[in-house]
Structure 1
Amino acid sequence: MFTGIVEEKGKVTSIQRKRESLTMSIAAVTVTEDVSIGDSISVNGVCLTVTSYQEDGFTVDVIPETFRTSSLSGVTTGSYVNLERAMRARDRFGGHFVSGHVDAVGTIVKQWREANALYITIEVPEEGLPYLSEKGSISVDGTSLTVFAVHASGFTISLIPETQRATILAEKQTGETVNIEYDVLAKYIDRLLTAKYQPAAGSSANITTEKLEQFGFLD
């Protein structure tokens, strides 16, 4: 689990590509301070497992499912990526719950500056639109951000100067892709309200009015 507060920008130093997978080495200082093999690190919002490390970097594997469903397939040697270590129970919780499981790849369609803020409009697949709400939370390339506006095909975010400095988002150009993770609470609520889960006939998980009355939840 992550918070969406990016700790540093790492630089991809080498990539070993296969058809739908890759092994990636990343130069970093902060996230390697207490790293161990098997630790989880968010790379552009994707939860990846450390397979080896040194004082100045670490290596991760990107499996086919992650390769196909995230923007990591387009990362090249020399690219910079957002990095965050998994949160600890004693840490301050400055962002929102981010699992590191990408829901969609979005495309930057518009950018503009207003005073010290950078506004970015991102287009996402239609099925993700119900999870967007004005002033709600969203993870973009692993960065916890607030949705400033919701549109017919996406949403707009605004980056404060610190976020522009500390993440790679300010360096993105119109037409580039970003990893999107919607608020996990919105996804759970949607699943419950739309009854996407259909239990098997006779399943104890099948909640009915009669069952609620049986256990005293209804008078």
Structure 2
Amino acid sequence: MFTGIIEEIGTVRSVTPGRDAATLKIGASAVLEDVRLGDSIAVNGVCVTVTGFSREAFTADLMPETLKATSLATVKSGTPVNLERALRADSRLGGHIVSGHIDCTAMIRSKRTEGNAIYLDLTIPNEFSAYLIQKGSVALDGTSLTVFEAREDSITVSLVPHTQAVTILGSKKPGDRINLECDILAKYAERMLQPFAGQKNGVTFNTLQKNGFA
């Protein structure tokens, strides 16, 4: 579990391809302070397991599904990546609950600057639009952000100067693909309400109250 508060920008040292898989070696410092084998680290929002480490880098294996579903399939030596260690139970939850399981990739359709903010308009697959609402939370390349505007096939987010400085999002450009994870609470709510979807009167307050939702 993560918070979407990026700890540092690491650099891909190498990508070793395998049969429908790959091994990443990533240069880092902050996330290695207390690292152990088997620890979880989010790389551009993707939860990976540490399989080896030194004082300057760590390695992680990428499964075929990870390469199919995320933008990590396109990284190469020298690519900067957002890094975050797994959340500790005694830590502040500064962003929102992020699982590290990517739902889809979004493509930047436009980028503009207004004052000290950068606005990114991103195209998203239609099937995920229900989980993205105005003022709701979304994780982009592992970064916890607020949805500025939500539409059927796109969203807009705003990057404050701090986010521009400590994550890779500020350097992204139109056409780039970004890992997107929807708010997991929205997905759980949908799943819990599915049994009531076919009821004649739909979901009412009495239904929610009777089943412990209100």
TM-score, with structure 1 as normaliser = 0.88
How many Å separate the matches in 1 of 2:194 and 2:114? 39
Alignment of 1:170-181 (within 5 A): 170-181=170-181
Contact residue 20 and residue 68 of structure 1 kept, 8 A? no
> Partners in 1 of 2:57 and 2:134 — Cα distance?
38
1:9 aligns with 2:28: no
Q: Which residue of 1 aligns with 2:194?
A: 194
CA shift, 1:19, in A, is 4.6
CA distance in 2, matches of 1:86, 1:138: 17
1:163 counterpart SS class: helix
Structure 2: gaps (5+ residues): 198-206
Distance 1:136 1:152 in 2: 15
State the one-letter code of the partner of 1:113. T
- Measured after TM superposition, the shift of residue 23 of structure 1 is 0.3
Question: What amino acid maps onto 2:157 in structure 1?
Answer: I
CA distance in 2, matches of 1:196, 1:28: 48
- Structure 1 match to 2:153: 153
Task: Give me the whole-angstrom Cα distance separating, in 2, the residues matched to 1:195 and 1:177.
Answer: 35
Residue 165 of structure 1: aligned partner? 165
Q: CA deviation at 1:196?
A: 9.5
Distance 1:114 1:64, change over 3 A: same
Partner in structure 2 of residue 51 of structure 1: 51
Q: Given the two structures, how large is their TM-score scaled by the length of structure 2?
A: 0.90
Residue 117 (structure 1) shift: 0.2
Query: What is aligned with 2:112?
Result: 112
Amino acid at match of 2:124: V
Q: Deviation per CA, 1:104-141, whole angstroms, max 9, x where unpaired?
A: 11101011000000000111111000001100000000
Query: Radius of gyration: which is bigger?
Result: 1
1:22 corresponds to which letter in structure 2? A
Structure 1: 4+ residue segments shifted above 6 A: none
How far apart, CA to CA, are the structure 2 residues paired with 1:194 and 1:180? 24
- Provide Cα deviations, 1:4-61, integer angstroms capped at 9, x if missing partner: 0000000001110135211000000000000000000000000000000011110000
* Structure 1 counterpart of 2:102: 102
Match of 1:89 in 2: 89
Question: For residue 121 of structure 2, what is the aligned residue in structure 1?
Answer: 121
Question: Does the 8 A contact of 1:41 with 1:47 survive in 2?
Answer: yes
For residues 121-179 of structure 1, the C-alpha deviation after alignment (integer angstroms, 9 at most, x for no partner) is 11111100000110000000000000000123110000000000000001111001000
Give the total of aligned pairs: 201
**How big is the shift at 1:194?**
3.2
- Does structure 2 retain, via aligned residues, the 8 Å contact 1:11–1:78? yes
